[in-house]
Amino acid sequence: MAAVDIDAPAARRVSRALRRAGDVASSATPTAYAGATIGPVTATIEALIARERAVATDLQDVLGTAAASLDERVAQVLAVDR
Amino acid sequence: MNWAPRIQRDAGALRATAEGLDAAAERHHQVATDLGRASSDLAAAWTSPAATRMVADLRDVRASHRPTAPALAAAAGQLRSLANQADTAAARVGVLEERVANAERALARARWSGSGIEGIVDADRAQQALWAARRDLSRELDTWNATVRQSASALGANVEAMPRLGGRSWSALNGLGAAGAALSGRSMARAGFNARGGRFKGRGINVRNPALWVGYRTASRATKALAGSAPVARAGLTGAFAATARTWDYRARGHKGWTGRRGFIDRPVTTASGWIGRTSQQVRGSAGAMASRVAGTVPRVPGLAGVARTTAGQMARRVPVVGTVFSGAELVQGVRSGDGLQIASGAVGIAAGVAVGAALVVGGPVIVATATALTVGAAAMSVGGAVSRWWKGRGD
């Protein structure tokens, strides 16, 4: 049996936590209400929201990738131990 | 047009947006907390070099993400402050609009009911009052517009404070890719593969297909190449994905040793590929926006800047050539007339032309100084020679 350097249940919990964090980041979009007298502010808020969306999407991608790598490692360990 | 109700509605819109931004800030704060806990849990659950790398990557991502929640919360606070100012502005504008309406009614009454000199004076007073009320209203609206512009500018600082995770997440992705490659390399070794993936033994090892290994390595290299060229990286990832697809095909054709799971490669690769595509789009968008900004600063005369640059360049290139030709002519003339000064002037002028040419091509302070000295010397000798010839020929 190969040396096991990972606690599979704990790693799975971490993987789920990473995915959940990505989902939380991208869950809801704030809305900029276009006002009749606040055009410049509306434009800036839209830029802010667009940046927030980009951050959330990037986070979800990166954390999803990390979770997938971790899941794969756990699957490898379980396969080797079996 | 009544502006007061509009400004009042905008105050409500600003408060609603502030609430949305607050919720987003809270969400990102929660994510930052969860990420910190997850990286600590991961460090406790998994001990290997790959795990260390992944933990470091996650902490990097968290550090990059950290300014998000404060920036959103600060923006929400600014919007609330602007909403309060909008309340005040709406009240003031409402009073002034009422004053304008009253002044308009007073003017109408004065025009209809007044008579004689006294009526004319009353109408004139009413007209003056109306103009003053309109002027005050206009000033109040200008003040509100200036407040809005100032707020937009202050909010812009929050936009700038928001992290651009693109670069950081790229770093994390690269690290995670390296961690994954280390994992699969070790699995390969355990499975008995050599470097070319030529053989395997044992069973139950997940990553043991040569095509999959090559695909993963290609993906890892492609993500590293991203810093230099997103399209190249995207092409590389596409190639890696194609290699992975070949693996599925290999499996479909009944290869008995394959026990891999589909999610290992295709999910990260498609994720990375999509991310690179979006980043590439963003880069192109930013380049376009920058080009527009630059274009906005250039005088709006079609091609003027280009023509000026071209002309300057052509002149700079031709100066040494023209100077050398003239100096050559002077040298020939000096030889014919036996004028030593003119010969020397021509020779130094030719040297100056060559030196200026060298200065334009090679550059460097010594060459430029030499070229300048020779040019000045040639010019002085040429002028001196001309004066000398004129003096000598004066008596002829």
- Residue found by looking up tokens 């032309």 in the block: B353
Query: Is A45 in Cβ contact with B17 (below 8 Å)?
Result: yes
Instruction: Name which of A13, A27, A75 is nearest B261 (Cβ-Cβ).
Output: A75
Which residues in chain B have their CB less than 8 angstroms from residue A45's CB? 17, 21, 75, 79, 155
| Mean pLDDT of all residues belonging to chain B | 71
B34 touches chain A (CB under 8 A): yes
Query: Is A24 in Cβ contact with B165 (below 8 Å)?
Result: no
Between positions 57 and 76 of A, the ones with CB within 8 A of B are 57-59, 61-66, 68-73, 75-76
Tell me the pLDDT tens digit for each residue of A50-72: 989 988 988 888 888 888 888 88
Distance from CA of A3 to the nearest CA of B (A): 11
Complex ipTM: 0.90
Q: How confident is the model at residue B4 (pLDDT cuts 50, 70, 90)?
A: very high
Which residues in chain B have their CB less than 8 angstroms from residue A43's CB? 152
How many helices (H) and strands (E) would you count in chain A? 2, 0
Which residues in chain A have their CB less than 8 angstroms from residue B166's CB? 54, 58
Are the C-beta atoms of B220 and B176 separated by less than 8 Å? no
Determine the pLDDT at residue B71.
94
pTM of the model: 0.53
B165 touches chain A (CB under 8 A): yes
Query: Is A63 in Cβ contact with B23 (below 8 Å)?
Result: no
Tell me the pLDDT tens digit for each residue of B74-108: 999 999 999 999 999 999 999 999 999 999 999 99
**B208-226: average pLDDT:** 45
Question: What is the DSSP secondary structure assignment for residue B48, as one 8-state letter?
Answer: S
Instruction: Name which of A31, A32, A55 is nearest B165 (Cβ-Cβ).
Output: A55
Are the C-beta atoms of B170 and B230 separated by less than 8 Å? no
Are the C-beta atoms of A24 and B138 separated by less than 8 Å? no
Determine the pLDDT at residue B292.
45
For the cut 60, the answer to whether the pLDDT of residue B266 exceeds it is: no
Determine the pLDDT at residue B275.
55
Are the C-beta atoms of B320 and B374 separated by less than 8 Å? no
Instruction: Name which of A35, A48, A69 is nearest B10 (Cβ-Cβ).
Output: A35
Question: What is the DSSP secondary structure assignment for residue B203, as one 8-state letter?
Answer: S
Which residues in chain A have their CB less than 8 angstroms from residue B172's CB? 62, 66
